[in-house]
Structure 1
Amino acid sequence: MAETTQPKFHSVYSVLKAELLQDPVFDLTDESRKWVDRMMDYNVPGGKCNRGLSVSDSYKLMKELTDHKKGKELSDDEVFLSSVLGWCIEWMQACALLLDDIMDSSHTRRGHICWYKQPKVGMIAINDGLMLRNHVPRILRKHFRTKPYYLELLDLFHEVECQTVAGQMIDLITTLLGEADLSEYKYPIHERIVVAKTAYYSFYLPVACALLMSGEKLETHSGMKDILIEMGTYFQAQDDVIDCFGDPEVIGKIGTDIEDCKCTWLVVKALELCDEEQKKILYDNYGKDDPDCVAKVKELYKTLKIQEIFEEYETKEYEKLTKSIDAYPSKAVGAVLKSFLAKIYRRHY
């Protein structure tokens, strides 16, 4: 799959940032402009940008297969506009992560101290998150209001934001239930959280943006959405394993799912496999902000061979998703789906 180069993509960030800093609707003072400038640089471009880059990559692949001209380069305008949509997703991601870190009392993100823990930031970060959220419609208005798919773009981003916010709420409420009674953690509730909180914006949104740019109607690709949502569910289970067992130096953060009493794939599977003695260990130690308690939970996961069980689950999911993708009627969309699956299969960070 031909991919957008990082330099081209990141050059678009600089353009968008400059536009937002001068957008009269925000009516910034010199001091607040400096704050927002620093805040954007700290929170928006620091990750791997996989979601954002996927818009251009998906659009290019669809265009190649639709026009039957493999290797054909996108025009400068196509590269720019697809990158703009990619950055809108990265802006949404930055908002979600910034606020999520506050709610989870996280310490690090992307290899750095969380924004809200920076000197003199604190709870101002909540307003910063809202600022990032409001940047997205301004970017879309600036660059897409003359496009025939502009309203569909607005609806798409609004729908995905609603899903993500609802998923976060269910996640937080479920955590309260888990703190009171860990037996509440079951697969249906875990899947509901994951679909809403992760799958929509991480998997469906980039491909949907590329489809709209290609002149396609989203309602004709409901099967695509189903496949991407399932892929996102598998991705989050994978992320749960990485949060628990990944090296902080590699993944860029210190995983806190155990301390935060999160309803993860691992704890749901552990509850399913535990005998009564093991269940007591889990109940006594899960959700405790204590290194010894965390170590006991991780040791129990190792005893139950949760990582090996995940590897079996991953193989089955890969085979299932591959079969669904192979049967998809559009070769262009199918190729995009295959490229997404290839990027995440057996990832370790």
Structure 2
Amino acid sequence: MSDNRSKFLGIFPSLVQELRDILVGYGMPEEAIEWYAKSLNYNTPGGKLNRGLSVVDTYALLKGYKSVDDLSVEEYKKVAILGWCVELLQAYFLVADDMMDQSITRRGQPCWYKVEEVGDIAINDSFMLEGAIYCLLKNHFRSQPYYVDLLELFHDVTFQTELGQLLDLITAPEDSVDLSKFSLKKHSFIVIFKTAYYSFYLPVALAMFAAGITDAKDLKQASDVLIPLGEYFQIQDDFLDCFGKPEDIGKIGTDIQDNKCSWVINVALQKASAEQRQVLDQNYGRKNAESEQKCRAVFDALNIEKIFHDYEEETATKLREKIANVDESRGFKAEVLTLFLNKIYHRKK
């Protein structure tokens, strides 16, 4: 995996140069070109790169290669560029999201808007990270028969993610706690639209187009598993934030104090007695450890941990049944979906 990551990272500098050249062509002064290059390098390659790498891995699998190393140099670059387009989309979302949430750090460094001299310019920088996607797609895929499919896919998934973000922001503002706005139905919409489409469906659909698997039935087969899988992934995240060990998940969970519309609180609201509901109303989203502990005590009393483990087994069983029924006659492979499920089933971080 580290070799795959290194190989993938090796493509990025040439893309930054390509984007610099576009600005040169427009006659942009050097200081602006340097600013854009710094934003691209600061915000794009620093994460886990799971989404971008998934495009390459899925493509190799669909084409029947034993490993990513079997791809020709030209073929590898083509799908890696699609992977980097997903990472640019992620960077665009995160730069904007950090400003909305007034976050301080991201990936172990200050959020971009917190960097000296950046501030509110980060709003425009986020737009330019998104713009980079369409520059790269035009340069490398305009002659492909699936070019319009790529454009529509990125536009659709971007808007879906923004819809999820909107509902999240108006349902659970950090400084105004109102648990009557919460529900499992809203939580499901938020996580499917905010996470599942761009994190799970988008990388696979891109790989499918590049591999020549463009039938609407195959895209639906992928979506029918990957969207609920993405919801399951986020529910795991919500659970681990509250019940995971900090040494496993690499952070101390903050969802309770941050008034997050998480799966845990929504299940608790559904199960709570009138007395427990009052405790949650008075303590959830409050910025102190004592209130957090009172919420945790209610979660423990309601046996949320067991409810989650039951949900996890039931969901994994349903997804395996769907995967077993995948029709592979047009070239799509169920193995793609199995790999995604195996990566997250019973994860601890």
TM-score by length of 2: 0.90
User: Is contact 1:91-1:132 (8 Å) kept?
Assistant: yes
Aligned to 1:262: 260
User: Is contact 2:60-2:66 (8 Å) kept?
Assistant: no
Q: Percent identity?
A: 44
Give, as a single letter, the amino acid of the residue that structure 1 aligns with 2:7.
Answer: K
Q: Counterparts of 1:218 and 1:252 in 2: how far apart (Å)?
A: 41
Q: Counterparts of 2:22 and 2:32 in 1: how far apart (Å)?
A: 13
Deviating more after overlay: 279-288 vs 289-298: 289-298
Q: Counterparts of 1:3 and 1:132 in 2: how far apart (Å)?
A: 26
Aligned to 2:17: 18
Deviating more after overlay: 4-13 vs 232-241: 4-13
Structure 1 unmatched runs, 5+: none
User: Is contact 2:174-2:285 (8 Å) kept?
Assistant: no
Classify 1:32/1:217 alpha carbon distance in 2 versus 1 (closer, same or farther; 3 Å): same
Classify 1:215/1:17 alpha carbon distance in 2 versus 1 (closer, same or farther; 3 Å): same
Listed one character per residue, the Cα deviations across residues 147-175 of structure 1 (whole Å, up to 9, x for unaligned) are: 11111110111111111111111111222
Q: Counterparts of 2:112 and 2:8 in 1: how far apart (Å)?
A: 24
Say if 2:121 is the partner of 1:118. no
What are the residue-to-residue correspondences of 1:126-275 with 2, within 5 Å?
126-176=123-173, 179=176, 181-221=178-218, 222-246=220-244, 251=249, 255-275=253-273
User: Is contact 1:259-1:289 (8 Å) kept?
Assistant: yes
Aligned to 1:96: 93
Deviating more after overlay: 251-260 vs 115-124: 251-260
User: Is contact 1:175-1:261 (8 Å) kept?
Assistant: yes
CA drift of 1:290 comes to 3.1
CA drift of 1:89 comes to 0.4
User: Is contact 2:177-2:259 (8 Å) kept?
Assistant: no
Deviating more after overlay: 335-344 vs 31-40: 31-40
Classify 1:20/1:177 alpha carbon distance in 2 versus 1 (closer, same or farther; 3 Å): closer
Aligned to 1:6: 5
Aligned to 1:51: 51
Structure 2 unmatched runs, 5+: none
Aligned to 1:37: 37
Aligned to 1:298: 296
User: Is contact 2:187-2:262 (8 Å) kept?
Assistant: yes
Q: Counterparts of 2:102 and 2:195 in 1: how far apart (Å)?
A: 19
Helix, strand or coil: the match of 1:329? coil
Q: Counterparts of 1:26 and 1:344 in 2: how far apart (Å)?
A: 45
Classify 1:107/1:176 alpha carbon distance in 2 versus 1 (closer, same or farther; 3 Å): closer
Give, as a single letter, the amino acid of the residue that structure 1 aligns with 2:236.
Answer: Q
Classify 1:35/1:290 alpha carbon distance in 2 versus 1 (closer, same or farther; 3 Å): farther
TM-score by length of 1: 0.90
Q: Counterparts of 2:5 and 2:327 in 1: how far apart (Å)?
A: 32
Q: Counterparts of 1:182 and 1:225 in 2: how far apart (Å)?
A: 31
What are the residue-to-residue correspondences of 1:71-110 with 2, within 5 Å?
73-110=70-107
Give, as a single letter, the amino acid of the residue that structure 1 aligns with 2:262.
Answer: T
What are the residue-to-residue correspondences of 1:303-342 with 2, within 5 Å?
303-330=301-328, 332-342=332-342
Q: Counterparts of 1:26 and 1:288 in 2: how far apart (Å)?
A: 50
CA drift of 1:80 comes to 0.8
CA drift of 1:186 comes to 1.4
